[in-house]
Amino acid sequence: MSSVINSNIQLWRQKSRDGTITLDEMRQAIAAIRVERMGAGERSAVSRERKSTAKAKAAPIDSDALLGQLGLGI
């Protein structure tokens, strides 16, 4: 999260504990957190896609060759 959002969240939490948070501030907090979560979900999806693409490009393992190196070939 950005430093501005983090500082606002800390302020909103403190006001919530003190019982001084307004309804408008609660709405702002929820909207800010939703925006951050949506952005995190998009970044996560891109990361998952990169990982799956990298795995798909990996060369297949030749199990017969591996067993042959261990002297267990058929």
Kindly report, residue by residue over 7-23, the tens digit of the pLDDT: 998 999 999 999 999 99
Tokens standing for residue 58:
């990996």
pLDDT reported for residue 32: 87
Of 9, 32, 33, nearest to 21 by C-alpha is 9
pLDDT reported for residue 52: 67
Orientation of helix 23-57 relative to helix 3-18, angle to 10° = 140
Taking every pair of C-alpha atoms in the chain, what is the biggest distance, in angstroms? 76
